[in-house]
Amino acid sequence: METVSGRKTVLEIRGLTRRFGGLTAVDRFDVAVNEGEIVSLVGPNGAGKTTVFNLISGVLRPTAGSVRLLGRELVGQPAHRITHHGVARTFQNIRVFPQLTVRENILLGTHHWSRSGMLGSVTFWPRTLRAERAARAEVHTAIDLFRERLEARLDDPAFSLSYANRRRTEMARALAARPKLLLLDEPAAGMNPYERIEVAGLIRSMRDRGLTIFLIEHHMPLVMEISDRVVVMDHGVKIAEGLPKEVHSNPRVVEAYLGRRAASA
């Protein structure tokens, strides 16, 4: 699958629809994310952005439509298989495992590719020991971007972390899964301006390491700064897509955010 620019399409969503009873949360949503791109999904609260993420990652099943990762259909597969195929995500309301240490949290990211079983671990089976060592080594690769923040905290339980460090742990956990596509759900929510600048830098360096990033973000300046393309949703429908500049001046987008009167004023 080649696009005009000659880059591979990593994520291709077509006609994605999800209804909750009478409410259509996502309505015939289409999007394509190319390799090495940062694409932002924006829209007012309740527009259905997180639902799109939940549909991609298999938390929810779509009513209709298709989600393809590098040409492989993901709809209908269980969530853990989707992770195995190369989608990792973070959550809007951070979901680290509070009683596990930071290290164990990040090790959870290696779960789907690590080969270490119940019998192997109690018999000290060489293959299992190697797998455990490889997983522990991966923790150090995964925290590369957060080294000065997380390294000293690796053996502390995650509940003792600050808000920003929990976000970092969650990102490191997603990176340890070695994904092809990274879904970030509001990575800068609740962060102060300095931390937001850091997040912008992080997302760029993740992209520079070859990751494809699809993110939801509310903070417009951040979106404008880092995105290659922006997709705007309202009431479950895609209302605009394009370069940050184009989207930004689109009257439908302004209307979705501020209402009709502001748009005509």
Partner 1 sequence: MSAQAQAAEVEKPRLQRLWESGPAGWNAALTKPYVMIPFFAVAATAPFVTQFFVDNFGWTGGEFWVRILATCAMYATLALSLNLVVGYAGLLNLGFIAFFGIGSYAYALVASEQLHQHFPFWLALLTVAGVAIAFSLIIGVPSLRLRGDYLAIVTLGFGLVMRELTLDLDRPPTLMGHQLGPNGLNITGGTEGIHQVDAFRIPKSLPVLGTAPHSWVYYWIFLGFLALCVFLLTRWRGTRTGRAWIAIREDELAARAMGVNTFKYRLLAFTASAVIAAVVGMINAAWLFNAYPGNYDVQQTVLVFIMVILGGLGSIPGAIIGATLVTVLPFVLQPLIFYRYVVFSLILIVVMIFRPEGLLGTVSMRPRKTLGGTVELLTAESTIEASELPAVTDAEAADLEAASGAIVEDPEWKL
Residues that bind partner 1 (CB under 8 A): 20, 25, 44-46, 48, 50-51, 54, 57-60, 78-80, 83-84, 88-89, 91-93, 95-100, 104, 107-114, 116-118, 121-122, 128, 131-132, 135, 152, 157, 173, 177, 189, 193, 196-197, 200, 218-222, 224-225, 248-249, 253-254, 257-258, 262
Q: CA-to-CA distance for 142 and 102, rounded, in angstroms?
A: 12
- Compare residues 34 and 60 and give the one whose CB is closer to partner 1: 60
Torsion angle of the four alpha carbons 216, 220, 222, 228, in this order, in degrees rounded to the nearest 10: 70
Smaller CB separation from partner 1, 5 or 249: 249
Which residue carries 């990040």 as its tokens? Answer: 106
Residue nearer to partner 1 on the CB measure, 33 or 226: 226
Least distance in angstroms from the C-beta of 165 to partner 1: 14
Other Cβ atoms less than 10 A from the Cβ of 100: the count is 16
Least distance (Å) from partner 1 to the CB of residue 4? 27
What minimum distance in Å lies between the beta carbon of 227 and partner 1?
13
- Please name every residue paired with 212 in a beta bridge, in sequence order, or none if there are none: 181
One-letter amino acid at 103 equals R
CB of 206 to partner 1, least distance (A): 17
Judged by beta carbon, residue 14 or residue 84, the one nearer partner 1 is 84
**Contact (Cβ atoms closer than 8 angstroms) between residue 228 and residue 39:** yes
C-alpha span between 58 and 246 (Å, rounded): 32
Closest approach, Cβ 242 to partner 1, in A, equals: 14
β-partners of residue 42 are: 232
Nearer to partner 1, 128 or 165 (CB): 128
CB 106 within 8 A of CB 99: no
> What H or E segment, with its residue span, contains residue 105?
helix 102-109
